[in-house]
Amino acid sequence: MPRYSKDFIAEIKSRLKVSDVIGKFVKLTQRGNEYVGLSPFKNEKTPSFTVNDEKEFYHCFSSAEHGNIFTFLMKHKNMTYPDSIEYLAKQAGLDPRIGIVKGDRDEDFQVYDDLRKMLNEAKEYYKRSLKESTLAKEYIDKRGIDKKVIEKFQIGFADNKNGLLKYINENNLNLENALKLGLIKKSTKDENKFYDFFRNRLIFPIMDYKSNVIAFGGRTLNKENANSDYKEAKYINSSESAVFKKSFNLFNIDLSLEENRLPKDLLIVEGYTDVISLYQNNFKSVVAPLGTALTKFQIEKAWKYCKNPIIIFDGDEAGKKASLRAAMLALSILKPDYSMRFCTLPENDDPDDFVNNNGSAALKKLISKSEILSDYIWSNEYSRFDLSSPEQKAGFEKRIKQIIPEIKDSIVRAYYKKDYSERLYNLRKTYEANQEYIPKNRFSRVTRETVMSERANRHSADSIVREKLMILLIIENPFLISRYLEELGLINFSNIELSKVCSRIVEYIVLNDDKSLENLDIKSYLIEEGFQQQIVDIYNPSLLNTYQPLLKNSEQEVERSFLEFLDLQNKFAENKDIDQAAVDLEENMNEENFEKFLKLKKESLNKN
């Protein structure tokens, strides 16, 4: 870390007014010789934050924070002291390098400087190559990546003709530095021959938090050959080097902090394209690990900027396992005030698919319902097994108790132990209550609470519970189909798989309209038609156990519950349209979007 001379620091201060620096982050109003504004350190309605240019300081009366332009950036923007000097030197029109105090580590700084120069040369070369590549442009168009986003992420292209190697030789650049960075590789057959590491790949520069390029990631544009034994990696990264350690860095950390150095919601996704897609859809604070499972160092790096980041991995089996691994890893390094949240996507969706198919408003709503770490771990363990017998419940309790010692911090561990102990106690009480006779009128109460609960109203991953119950009710109660066949055909499901199941049921009933519904085995038909996995999900033991009172109710109560589910589902569909219209209006405030929003809002109010 560089040290700067006192004279250089004094020069920066002489060139910059405190009000100009702080005014970029806080709205200031001049009052006499001072400026006042709302505190950037504490929520308040009456301004208590003052800035004095003459005395070169700021003072916050509500939080007692006090300091100069450097300490402001350190406290408000989470910068280190050298980072604040470098940032302000550039703002003052000074080259930060001229202020560094020379010392024993001069040689190290020169090495880093040389490697960074090579990385910048490579970045510019890849960017120019993109403009000349039809293959890369076709892929970008297919993925719907906006031109402005390409420029923002400085995306490039590596050809398969050793273009970077030729560029290095033609411009007398240092080949040794390119080898150290893993951009050029030496042939194993002939040590005098070299080749480009990235070939026929879309290139994503990997930046540090100061927007310095430290490495590259590459996505293959070659078509997969099903007949070949060799399977090319879809994504690869350049080698680790003096400036790049893969397990310590996060892709897009620089842009994710551009608008807010301490974002409330920092999203962590799995890959580069997920990051780019979410960023393009106005989720600016989003990062990803670099081709490996999330590491504890990356979690700790995320914690520097956000105390409670959100994991939003793919909805397939691999994504679920990766999320659970991240949860258990976070559990082991928890500390007071720092944790993680988990946003679960529908089956087989990734963040890119979800936001493009459902819109920004739907993803925003889904993120707002993210589970806290303790809930996520509990629900994962709870849903993995059939807990219908006392022995299985005992096994669940044993596994939960084995998780708690994984937490290293004694204070956090004590609170987790208390929380999980209370949940286990309630689970035992619920089991005991279920062994007793349940009066008929209790079914009605539990049913109504279930239908109108927060869980039943949630979007996507949690709304799937409601949607599964609707399918379950019509399979187990065929009389609902004959009475509400038209309504079933119009249901707007958030889960595509459940939508397919419902459509197939409607189709099956229409084709067999001359037969008695009681004689039709809908469940067996769906399994024969290839919906076996969906049936397994719908008939999940924990779901059946949780909603037993609803499923074993009288015909009259089942019908009433189904209609309440149907009403909620229709309201959800309306809200989804309104939410998306609001986002469209916010992004582009034209007359067409305004009229569309007003129309949907009026229709919604009239129905209510």
CA distances to 156, 200, 288, 599 from 140, rounded to whole Å, are 11, 14, 20, 35
Burial class (CB in 10 A: 0-12, 13-18, 19+), 1: exposed
Rounded Cα distance, 286 and 288, in Å: 7
Is the separation of the CB atoms in 380 and 403 below 8 Å? no
Is the separation of the CB atoms in 70 and 88 below 8 Å? yes
Burial class (CB in 10 A: 0-12, 13-18, 19+), 471: buried
Rounded Cα distance, 160 and 154, in Å: 20
Report the pLDDT value the prediction gives residue 452, as an integer from 0 to 100: 44
Rounded Cα distance, 561 and 470, in Å: 9
Is the separation of the CB atoms in 339 and 330 below 8 Å? yes
How many CB atoms neighbour CB 460 within 10 A?
24
| Sequence-distant (≥ 6) Cβ neighbours of residue 310 within 8 angstroms | 265, 266, 267, 268, 340, 341, 342, 343, 367, 370
The three-point CA angle 18-20-26 to 5° equals 95
- Profile the chain (608 residues) by mean pLDDT over runs of 10 residues: 84 92 93 92 90 93 92 86 90 88 61 90 97 93 93 96 96 95 92 93 93 94 72 89 90 90 91 95 95 91 93 92 95 94 90 92 91 92 78 90 94 94 81 46 39 43 74 86 81 82 84 62 84 83 71 80 82 59 58 60 53
How many CB atoms neighbour CB 15 within 10 A?
14
Is the separation of the CB atoms in 201 and 157 below 8 Å? yes
Residue-wise DSSP of 533-594: HHHHHHT-HHHHHHTHHHHTS-HHHHHHHHHHHHHHHHHHHHHHHHHHHHHHHHH---HHHH
Contacts by 34-42 with C-beta closer than 8 Å and gap 24+?
39/63, 40/76, 41/65, 41/75, 41/76
Rounded Cα distance, 114 and 215, in Å: 14
Is the separation of the CB atoms in 344 and 267 below 8 Å? no
Report the pLDDT value the prediction gives residue 544, as an integer from 0 to 100: 76
| Sequence-distant (≥ 6) Cβ neighbours of residue 426 within 8 angstroms | none
Is the separation of the CB atoms in 280 and 312 below 8 Å? no
Rounded Cα distance, 473 and 489, in Å: 15
Unique residue bearing structure tokens 């040369």:
121
- Give the closest residue to 185 by CA, choosing from 174, 198, 194, 193: 194
Report the pLDDT value the prediction gives residue 576, as an integer from 0 to 100: 54
Report the pLDDT value the prediction gives residue 228, as an integer from 0 to 100: 63
Report the pLDDT value the prediction gives residue 444, as an integer from 0 to 100: 38
Strands 310-311 and 267-268: parallel
Taking the CA of residue 535 as centre, how many other CA atoms within 13 Å lie in the half-sphere pointing to its CB? Answer: 15
Q: How many helices (H) and strands (E) does the chain have?
A: 30, 16
Is the separation of the CB atoms in 154 and 131 below 8 Å? no
Report the pLDDT value the prediction gives residue 41, as an integer from 0 to 100: 87
